[in-house]
Structure formats: structure tokens, C-alpha cells
Chains A and B, each alone.
Chain A
């Protein structure tokens, strides 16, 4: 799973002050570290909140969990709320057991995540209420 030669860019989008990063299928490999770097880049560029979308991600393995912990760390250092969207039920259970949901909220999909974040004043950092997950 060492894949230093995988250099394809991480897909992301901006919605106002919110960045949406698509975890895709490289989350479970070392190249998934690019997701964390992408998050940090958006935060550095002035984003006030992050959504990591798991729509095209199947299972999340231990490497994927570790990388998401890195994203949590980056978000907390920037006092930015973090929402995981489109998380499947297995990954959601794992995130809950391992404590990731204590630091990030879950949303059914990307729109729900954006709506959730728009309801809080991202300029006044505080935890987003934990949403219902699939």
C-alpha cells in the first residue's frame, strides 16, 4: 500500500468560507496524507470550516482513520468546525468507537453538511452539533 508514486490531485471545492474535500479511494493509503495537506491548505487560505466527503470511499481502514485524525488535528488547531459527510454505516460505527465523532460531526450528505455549517457562525468557532448519519 506504499504508493509514493500516486500523485493525482485531491479533489476539493469551496463554498464561501467552507471547503469540501473529497476523500475518494486513496484515503486508505499513504497518499491519503494529501487529504490532510489539502485541508491545511484550505485552512491556511482562510477557510473557516471543513467538510470531508466520503461519497466515493468504501471501507475505511486504520490508515484512513489515522489520516482523519490528522485532519481533526488540523481543524482543531485552526478552530475550524469539521463535518464528515456521506459516511457509510460501518465507517460511522468505527469513527464513533474510536472517538472521531467527539471531534467531528457526521452529516448525511454534502448539502446537509454545508447546511449544518451555515447554521453556526463559523466566525465564532464552536462545535457543530452532531448530525444524524446513515
Chain B
């Protein structure tokens, strides 16, 4: 095979390799480094670099270099005006070794850069231009043959430069998109934090209205979260149910303070007024665009019962949204385990009895079972945090006493014994 044919085949195969390398987006630096080898090896050039123009910094960042020695600079100063000048499509390769071109090259690149390139023994400068935007240079040194670059070789480099320019341009676009996405993520996280803080503030405001149930909304939020997680809900759904727990009593804001704080059993009229709070809560929450689904519905239906004897709509069984069933259990559990003005809290055996009695009537058995499992895990020390034990206070859940009760109740609830008995 003639030398000319071999050279041509070698250049074509280098172009094919280049396409393959540029399609590899795993590591930008490695991609550029490999493409530099392809260019150098295609023409037998002993040293070279690929520099990316960093707009704003007025610098050229050396992304890849070969044969420049260990002391080669990482960046080169480059004027924005030069970048403007080089932004024409299909730019020519600039030669530093041809004296008749030197004045033009110095004008386009600036004296400082030309001097630095000379020190690095780089003599052919190929601008990388994409969509009339200057993105960088391929910088080439002398050939191993010590001959000047031929017209054919300059064309080969220009063709490769167009491909490499597109590679750098695409990478830059990707970097910008990632940066924007990162900023948006940060903004979204901030909004979520503000939302959660607002929800907590509302919960505190709700609880302030009822002096006997301080911290109730926050506790219901935490119990709901624990139950939902135990039931296998996704983290997104768990966050949503926590918010629903925090806000479930928001409707109480429109109920007279005297009725809420009555230190006696309220009459039918007052009871009817108090029972308006789930629907009122729905009216308050519905116009808000919550980042989680069904929060207004969970507030509206948290006093519904499985047997249809709840309010406001008397829904039964699966008509009640699953989230409302969870908030209902969390709400009642907190009511049973905290002191109220008109009654002391129940001891744990009474709570278990209440659960057993009301499973399938007031409460969904699967939700009760989840709460009991979560309690048992905390009692057995299987969880990192002991949220329920902390909320109930020291000494409320005595392991020796409550463990067998929980085990037995869970078995009943999971086998449907209580539910069957109720029906």
C-alpha cells in the first residue's frame, strides 16, 4: 500500500475514532484527552493541547495537554475581544511559524498569548467555533517529521476541530442545564422548608386555641408519619401525611374558643358547632396548592368511622381515604394518651382494650395493626429513634407489660379476628 493511501486510511480511521470518543459522555476531561490523542496521532504531532474558553473569566482552561511537560500552565489569559474576533464560522488555522502571518495572528490572539504559545513550542492554533460562538482552541506543536503542516493536514485538523468544538459546546450546555437544575432543586428545597415551617406554625396556632391540647397537632403529625411508614408508604406520601396530621384540626380556628375549651361536657348545639371543624378545615385547606396529595380530604374525613357513624358525611370502609383513616387513629390515640380537662389519660391496657373494641367499627384494623407494630418495634429496641415512647412520656410503655399485649393485639388485627367479631 502506498504511503499516501496509508496516511489517508489512518486519518479516516482517526476521524471515526473521534466520533466514537465524542459520543462518550461519561467523563468530559477523559473524552477531551482522548480526542487530543486522536488528533496528535492522526498527523504525528509531538505535543498539543485542547483549551476551553471560559467566558467571563477571560481565560483559556487547558482541558487536556500532551507533551508539554509537567510545568505547562493550567490556564492562559485570553481577551474577550479576541474571542469575538474568532467567532466567525469555519475559522482558519492560525500558524505561528509563518512570519507573513505573524502580525495577523498577534492581532487576533494578543501578544501575551502568542508569546506563551511560543514558549510551549505550539505553532498551529485551530479555533473551535460552534454556532458562531468561540468555545476554545486546539493547539498543536511540531510534527515528528519536523515538516510544516500541509494544506491537507490543516483541513484534517479543521474537520476534527469542528467535531471537538461541538463536543465541548454540548458539554457546556449540559453543565448549564445541570447547574440550573441544581439551583431549581435548591429553590424547591427552600420552598418545602418554608412550607413545612408554615405548617408547624399553623399547628402551633391551632393548639394555642385549645389550652388543654397543647402539642396535639404536632403529635398527631408524628404518629401519622410513623403509621404511614410502617404501612409501607413512600417517603413523599409519609411527608404528606405528616402535614395532614399537623393541619387536621385547622378548622377549629373558626370554632368558638369557649366551645373548644369548655371544662364540661358540651351540649348538642355546641357539639354540632364543634363538629363543623373537619369541613371548615377542608374549606381552609382546599384552595392551597399543597406539594402533597389529598391533604384537605384527610382533614375533612378524620372523624369518619369505618362503620359509617362518623362525620361530616358518614362515609364507610373504603369510602374513607386511607390517609384520613391514619389521621383518625393518630388523633384518637393522642386523645386517649394525654390528659384532658374533663378526664385523665387512659392507661395502656385501656388503650389496647379500646383498640380491640373499636377495630373495624371506628378504626381501620390495618392502621391499628401498623401503629401497634411500630410501638412494639420501639419497645423491643428495633428502631433508631423512639418517637412514640418519647411522646408518651417515661414509664407509660412498660416493656414487660405492653409487649405481650401488643403481640396478641397485632395477631388479632392481622388475622381479622376483631373485625370479624365486630361484624
Taken together as a complex, chains A and B put the C-alpha atoms of A114 and B31 apart, in Å, by: 37
Q: Given A98-B145, A102-B146, A103-B144, does the pair A62, B30 have CB atoms closer than 8 Å?
A: no
Report whether B33 and A70 are in contact in the complex, using a CB–CB cutoff of 8 Å: no
Whole-angstrom distance between the Cβ of A79 and the nearest chain B Cβ: 16
Asked whether A30 lies within 8 Å of B33 as measured between CB atoms, the reply is yes
* CB neighbours of B42 from chain A (8 A): 62, 65
Name the contact of A73 in the complex, choosing from B24, B33, B34, B67 (C-beta under 8 A): B67
Q: What B residues does A70 contact at CB under 8 A?
A: 66-67
List chain A residues, Cβ under 8 A from B144. Answer: 69, 72, 98-100, 102-103
Cβ B34 vs Cβ A69 within 8 A: no
Q: Contact: B41 with A2, CB < 8 Å?
A: no
Interface string of A76-91 (1 = CB under 8 A from B): 0000000000000010
Count of A-B residue pairs with CB < 8 Å = 97
Q: How far, in Å, is B30 (CB) from chain A's closest CB?
A: 5
A interface size (C-beta, 8 A): 26
A4 interfacial by beta-carbon distance below 8 Å: yes
**A45: B residues at CB distance < 8 A:** none
Tell me, in angstroms, the Cα distance from A22 to B24 when the chains sit together.
28
Check A134 for interface membership: any CB of B closer than 8 A: no
Q: B13 in the interface, Cβ–Cβ < 8 Å?
A: yes
Complex formed: what's the CA distance from A73 to B141 in Å? Answer: 12
In-complex Cβ contact of A69 among B14, B21, B67 (8 A) = B67
B323-345 CB mask vs A (1 if < 8 Å, else 0) is: 00000000000000000000000
Q: Give the distance to chain A from B348, nearest Cβ to Cβ, in Å.
A: 57
Q: Mark B65-78, 1 if CB is under 8 A from A, else 0.
A: 01100000000000
Which positions 17-34 of chain A face chain B at CB distance < 8 Å? 29-30
Q: Is B38 touching A63 in the complex (CB atoms < 8 A)?
A: yes
* Minimum CB–CB distance for B170 against chain A, Å: 16
**Residue B421 is within 8 A (CB to CB) of chain A in the complex:** no
In the complex with contacts A2-B21, A2-B34, A61-B14, A69-B145 CB distance below 8 A:
no
Does residue B37 face the partner (Cβ distance < 8 Å to A)? yes
* A123 on interface, CB distance cutoff 8 Å: no
Nearest-neighbour CB distance to chain A for B328, whole angstroms, equals 54
Q: Which of A29, A62, A90 has the most CB of B within 10 A?
A: A62
Contact of A93 among B6, B41, B67 (CB under 8 A): B6
Are B3 and A2 within 8 A (Cβ)?
no
| Residue B27 at the chain A interface, CB threshold 8 Å | yes
The B contact surface, by secondary structure, is: helix
User: Does A39 touch B at the CB level, under 8 Å?
Assistant: no
Instruction: Give the docked Cα–Cα distance between A98 and B191 (Å).
Output: 61
Interface status of B183 (Cβ within 8 A of chain A): no
Q: Are A69 and B45 in contact (CB under 8 A)?
A: yes
A1-B17 in contact given A66-B37, A66-B38 (Cβ < 8 Å)? yes
A63 and B66 alpha carbons, distance in the complex (Å) = 11
Chain A residues lying within 8 Å of B37, measured Cβ to Cβ, are 30, 62-63, 66-67
Question: Which of A63, A66, A93, A99 is most buried by chain B, counting CB atoms within 10 A of its CB?
Answer: A66
CB neighbours of A99 from chain B (8 A):
44, 143-147
The residue that B1 contacts in the complex, of A62, A93, A96, A102, with Cβ under 8 A, is A93
CA distance A98 to B44 in the complex (A): 5
Q: Is B122 an interface residue (CB 8 A)?
A: no
**Residues of B contacting A100 with CB < 8 Å?**
44, 144
B44–A69 CB distance below 8 A: yes
The minimal Cβ–Cβ distance linking B26 to chain A, given in whole angstroms, is 6
Whether A94 pairs with B10 at a CB distance below 8 angstroms is yes
**Distance of B44 from chain A, by nearest CB (Å):** 3
B242 CB to nearest A CB, Å: 42
> Per a CB cutoff under 8 Å, which of A62, A73, A96, A103 touches B38?
A62
| 5 nearest A-B residue pairs (beta carbon) | A98-B44, A62-B41, A99-B144, A99-B145, A65-B41
Question: 7 A-B residue contacts at CB 8 Å?
Answer: A1-B34, A2-B30, A69-B40, A73-B46, A97-B6, A99-B145, A100-B44
